[in-house]
Chains A and B, each alone.
Chain A
Amino acid sequence: MTAQARIIEMEGIRKVYDTGKVKVEALKGIDLVVTPGEFVAIVGPSGSGKSTLMNLVGCLDTPTNGRYRLAGEDVSKFGRDDLADVRNRRVGFVFQGFNLLPQISAFENVEMPLVFGGVSPRERKRRVEELLSRVGLGDRMEHKPTELSGGQMQRVAIARALAMKPDVLLADEPTGNLDSSAGGDIMELFSELWKQGGTVVVITHDMTLARRASRIVEIHDGRIVTDKPAAA
């Protein structure tokens, strides 16, 4: 397997938060490789370092030590604007709290990363319409987030995450804020995206969602304790 075939390649990643007097070591040496087409679930109790890992994988933060290559690019030492570009092109985020911009429509929310990516208005319109139809919201494009249900909001968020055709879809407890029916729909959507060839990394402690993944990575106290294919 060549390096180019690895989407995520982490080596000896450490992250230390310096909160004045106390130094907290959130990650104590993580080695993680994700290849295209994998559906990885990262599980672990709260405080285990999953969120820190998610921030690093998503290039929202940089590691204290270690090397991180995202789609072959070493991003460990990138500056803020370069990281912003990497997030825009390579990572699609889905959050527990949806994090849609409340004052603009579903259409404009999905359009936002395309604006950052410098996509032409015409191409933006075409792609946003296609994506919203794909998540089943073709008839809700002009609705504001407050006019949508939780499940619908999360689907807008997924459409937004997919807008720039990212290398990896990164989700943090995507069903954590939904009832079981809406949560089930979202899980189904993730499975579909994976089956269509997408790479998905989900952080969750919802084991029903984790079991849909192709691989489960368990973190405890800043270290990977188990890393194995999900039981079929």
Chain B
Amino acid sequence: MRARDVSVVLHLFSRSARLQKKRATLTIASIAWGTVTILLLLAFGEGLKRQLSTNEKAMGENLAIHWPGATSRVWKGLPEGRPIRPRIDDIEALRERIPEADVWGEMRTGRTNLTYGRKTVNGQLSGVNWIYGDPRKHYPRPGGRFLNARDEEEKRRVVFLGYEMAEDLFGKEDPVGKTLLINNSPFTVIGVMQKKTQTSAYGGQDKNHAVIPITTFKAVMGRDNLWVLVIHARRSEEMEAVLAHANEVMAARYGYDPKDDHVWGIWNTVKGQAVGDKIRLGMEIFFGIIGALTLVIGCVGVANIMYAVVKERTREIGVKMALGARRGWITGPFLLEGMLYTFVGGLAGAAIAIVIVTMLDMIPQEGARVLQFMGKPTLSWPIGAATVAILGTAGLLAGYFPARRAAAIDPAATLRYE
């Protein structure tokens, strides 16, 4: 395109008739509506995606929970059907052999009496290694802490409470530093878990249990058998290798066939995460397509009006052609006009969407249960870029097809006096 083409097109554009106000307004409004729809759908999708992901990950990521079972194969003279019962000292052995992963054990009782003052709650008690805290997202509220290495070493009588259990026992009181009785032994509360929306769990929701050091649990309850053995890979790609390695270590210690898959019942969350990611991506694509279709309808409206304009201005176009206008000089102003409406409409729509999303953002998530699962609509740069790309393409097409019709006008046929 030469500089002269640009200057001629701009000259014609500046002097060509605009749409009547009403038509222009309706056209812009339809584009704005489409833009609002696509932005809100994508924003809700993004919010939902993030929230689902957060909720799903509230239990922790890259975990492999091992429930002990029994052998199903004869191995080196040992019979099948032998139960395998891992103990606390297995944890240390595993840590030595697979330093690239975190390993902890969990013990539990289903119904334990926890008493504070005159209030007794029958709840779940877990004994865990202190490293459990971070990977299992047991983040303490300000003023408290989770279990640490010394608690475990010294078998301290300290307890970390799920927030619902804390509320059941202490009401509005701050539990940290208070003493409660677990099976009639006194324990000091060192921390309370922060709220989280958890959508996956093994053996109950984290908000409802009390956590004590695994060494203390053993001392108080007189048990050494683990309820579950958990392996936390630091990176999801390493999970398979870590699991294979851990199985070999345990097979050697307990004398079972490493290929025997009845020894452990394993929940590997990495697999679930991959499925979840796909579902969320699918959801986002679905929302995007619906939004894009709405926007396309708006652009069809623009194209339709532009077609009508081409028809109305047929004679003018013929006159310009007779005076020596090239095809590009005829189509240029139509393309510009189509893009102008799309641009203004898109801008208006984006502004409205931003206002709506900002207002929704001001609603507190606390107490609004729906929002805990739905998440908050979120506008992100990728969403903005996608919308701009769709709008731009649609705007070009909305101007292009009518412009092509305009260029196809036969000047000889339009100039006769009727």
Contact of B411 among A60, A103, A112, A113 (CB under 8 A): A60
B320 at the interface (CB under 8 A from A): yes
By a CB distance below 8 angstroms, the chain B residues around A176 are 417
Residue of A nearest to B324 (CB): A88
Given contacts A97-B418, A103-B17, A108-B15, contact A113 B323 (CB under 8 A): yes
Q: Is the CB of B8 within 8 A of A80?
A: no
Contact of B8 among A51, A100, A116 (CB under 8 A): A116
A174 to B251, CA, bound (A): 106
Taking the nearest CB of chain A, how far is it from the CB of B14, in angstroms? 10
A148 at the interface (CB under 8 A from B): no
A164 to B323, CA, bound (A): 10
Contact of B323 among A61, A81, A93 (CB under 8 A): A93
Q: Is the CB of A55 within 8 A of B412?
A: yes
Contact of B15 among A89, A99, A104, A160 (CB under 8 A): A104
A214 at the interface (CB under 8 A from B): no
A159 to B22, CA, bound (A): 36
By a CB distance below 8 angstroms, the chain A residues around B16 are 103
Q: Is the CB of A84 within 8 A of B315?
A: no
Contact of B415 among A81, A95, A104, A113 (CB under 8 A): A95
By a CB distance below 8 angstroms, the chain B residues around A99 are 315, 318-319, 322, 415
B259 at the interface (CB under 8 A from A): no
Given contacts A101-B319, A116-B329, contact A87 B415 (CB under 8 A): no
Main secondary structure of the interface of B (DSSP, over half): helix
Mask for B222-235, Cβ within 8 A of A = 1, else 0?
A: 00000000000000
A101 to B313, CA, bound (A): 10
| Residues of A135-184 whose CB lies within 8 A of B | 160, 164, 172-173, 176-177
A191 at the interface (CB under 8 A from B): no
By a CB distance below 8 angstroms, the chain B residues around A108 are 15
Taking the nearest CB of chain A, how far is it from the CB of B96, in angstroms? 82
A118 at the interface (CB under 8 A from B): yes
Mask for B387-415, Cβ within 8 A of A = 1, else 0?
A: 00000000000000000000000111001
Taking the nearest CB of chain A, how far is it from the CB of B365, in angstroms? 56
Q: Is the CB of A58 within 8 A of B324?
A: no
Q: Is the CB of B326 within 8 A of A85?
A: yes
Residue of B nearest to A173 (CB): B417
B316 at the interface (CB under 8 A from A): yes
By a CB distance below 8 angstroms, the chain B residues around A85 are 324, 326
A65 at the interface (CB under 8 A from B): no
By a CB distance below 8 angstroms, the chain A residues around B410 are 61
Q: Is the CB of A101 within 8 A of B316?
A: yes
By a CB distance below 8 angstroms, the chain A residues around B321 are 60, 84, 87
Q: Is the CB of B11 within 8 A of A115?
A: yes
Mask for B9-25, Cβ within 8 A of A = 1, else 0?
A: 00110011100000000
B416 at the interface (CB under 8 A from A): yes
Contact of A58 among B322, B325, B327 (CB under 8 A): B322
Q: Which of B323, B327, B329, B418 has the most CB of A within 10 A?
A: B323
A48 at the interface (CB under 8 A from B): no
By a CB distance below 8 angstroms, the chain A residues around B411 are 60
Mask for B168-187, Cβ within 8 A of A = 1, else 0?
A: 00000000000000000000
By a CB distance below 8 angstroms, the chain A residues around B111 are none
Q: Is the CB of B323 within 8 A of A177?
A: no
Mask for A125-140, Cβ within 8 A of B = 1, else 0?
A: 0000000000000000
Q: Is the CB of A118 within 8 A of B327?
A: no
Given contacts A87-B322, A88-B323, A112-B320, contact A95 B417 (CB under 8 A): yes
A117 at the interface (CB under 8 A from B): yes
Taking the nearest CB of chain A, how far is it from the CB of B319, in angstroms? 5
Hey, which bits of chain B sit against chain A, CB under 8 A?
Answer: 4, 8, 11-12, 15-17, 315-316, 318-329, 410-412, 415-418
Q: List 23 A-B contacts (CB under 8 A).
A: A55-B412, A60-B411, A61-B410, A80-B326, A80-B327, A84-B321, A84-B324, A84-B327, A85-B324, A88-B323, A93-B323, A95-B417, A96-B417, A99-B319, A99-B415, A100-B319, A101-B319, A103-B16, A113-B323, A113-B324, A116-B323, A116-B329, A172-B416
